[in-house]
Amino acid sequence: MTPKFAATIFMTCLVALLSAPAAADNALQNAQAAVNMKQWGDAETQLKTWLGQRPQDSEARFLLARVLAWQTKYEESVGQYTALLRIEPDNADYLLGLGQVYFWQSRPREAIPFLKRAQKSAPHYAEVWKLLIRCLYAADEWREAENIQRQAAQRFPDGDWQRLTPESPIMQPPTGSIPQPPTSGRNTILDVGGSYEKLDRQYDSWNSAYLGASHRFGDRRNLYGRATQVDRFALQDASVMAGFTLPVSERWTFGLETDESPTNLFLPRWSLLGSAHYKMDYGFGALFSFRHISYRAENNEIGTVGLERYWGNWRLAYTLYVSQLEAASAATFSHLGTAAYYYGDHDYIGVSISNGQEVVRLDPSRLANADTESYSLQGQHWLTPAWAVVYDVSLNLQGTSYTRRGAVFGLRYAF
């Protein structure tokens, strides 16, 4: 080997050794820049390059764990957090991060032990308390969640801890409607849509169009209204509805709703609904309501009693309706069962089945009690933080009077 060739090899090796740390330094800088621009894939690549040179860098590994979670690479993220906790088992940031990953995976029960460790290690870390409360509610541990929520409100008086309570829609009779925005920053909703129903037994099809709005003033404080135009029996009718809900205690919410038809061809002249919702422990809730409906020829009164229950993302509800038509000799009873799955703040898909006797309109001037049976598929899906679609596809068997098949479809805009 000549001296010149040996010197060339030596210089090549020296440049490689010197450039490796520089490349790693650039990798960390590039990773931080990629995170700032939310380019998670690039950040992951750069962080893995950096950790290949410096595997003991806990801060870089912590950032990689979060970047993996943001890409929904949850199992890889869990592996990184596990490695970090072997070194610092009481680090509240690592415990919180691991709890967050499990929560995002819909595994709240697995998150709870880590969050309790973080709470014990850093009792003044408000974010740990918030996620722990959410996980307890999601795991159906309502009593413990409410107890910790009260403790958090005392420890952190400046926080809005009431918002952590699952904001499931207040159960109402099917005619009531309070749309809810997907984020707390968007409290006003505009609602537009329509319906089409095809009838048998030589009845003409029914259709309607509506325009509504609602505004949320705070927890369980809602004001809402709707104007509707309805085509039935070769006639066109219209109605205007308005209502509000108001909390009167931590558990009780009251509501009042009224509507009026200025044309009053086949719709009720007016109606008035009063309702009360009671929030119980373990995810249970109860509804009580009474509605007076005034038609041209007679009145109808409907009382309801309902019970609902939440299990994680699921809601089951049962409602009993007792109706007394003025000209009828006895009251009628009907039953409504609902099951819905919530996969976002206010995104859901559900089914409803009802059976019993209800008041049906046979023509513009004639009402009667009839055996009824109905099946319905409903949903609400927020496509963006501002826009949502809602729908209700149903089959209604109105005894021997007629059968209705149809759907309601609407758009919602939140701001």
Domain with residue 233: its CATH number is 2.40.160.40
Q: How far apart (Å, rounded) are the C-alpha atoms in residues 415 and 409? A: 20
Whether residue 36 lies inside any domain: the answer is: yes
With H, G, I as helix, E, B as strand and everything else as coil, classify residue 61. Answer: helix
Least confident range of 31-45, 196-210, 294-308: 31-45
Whether 172 is covered by a domain: the verdict is: no
**pLDDT for 321-364, tens place per residue?**
999 998 888 899 999 999 999 876 578 899 999 999 988 888 88
The predicted model scores a pTM of: 0.64
Spatial distance between the Cα atoms of 225 and 258, rounded to a whole number of angstroms: 9
Q: Is the pLDDT of residue 259 over 60?
A: yes
Which of 24-33, 77-86, 126-135, 382-391 has the least mean pLDDT?
24-33
For residue 370, being part of any structural domain is answered with yes
* Total structural domains within the chain: 2
Query: Does residue 1 belong to any structural domain of this protein?
Result: no
Share of the chain above pLDDT 70, in %: 88
| Mean pLDDT (the chain, rounded) | 85
Buried b vs exposed e over 79-110: b needs ≥16 C-beta within 10 Å? ebbeebbeeeeebbbbbbbbbbbbbebebbeb
Note whether 260 and 385 are same-domain residues.
yes
Look at residue 221 and tell me whether its pLDDT is greater than 60: yes
pLDDT at 382 over 60: yes
Domain hosting residue 366, numbered range? 188-414
Task: Classify residue 256 by its DSSP letter.
Answer: E
Report the 10 Å Cβ neighbour count for 209: 15
Of the given ranges (28-32, 44-48, 248-252, 323-327), which has the lowest mean pLDDT? 28-32
Q: Which of 129, 164, 199 is the last residue of a domain?
A: 164
Report d(CA 33, CA 38) in Å as an integer.
9
Identify whether 180 is part of a domain.
Answer: no
Q: Do residue 259 and residue 314 come from a single domain?
A: yes
What does R_g of the chain's alpha carbons equal in angstroms? 30
More confident residue, 140 or 151: 151
User: 283 and 354: one domain?
Assistant: yes
What are the backbone angles phi and psi of residue 80, rounded to the nearest 5°?
-65, -45
Shared domain for 264 and 147, answered yes or no, is no
pLDDT level of residue 20 (50, 70, 90 thresholds):
very low
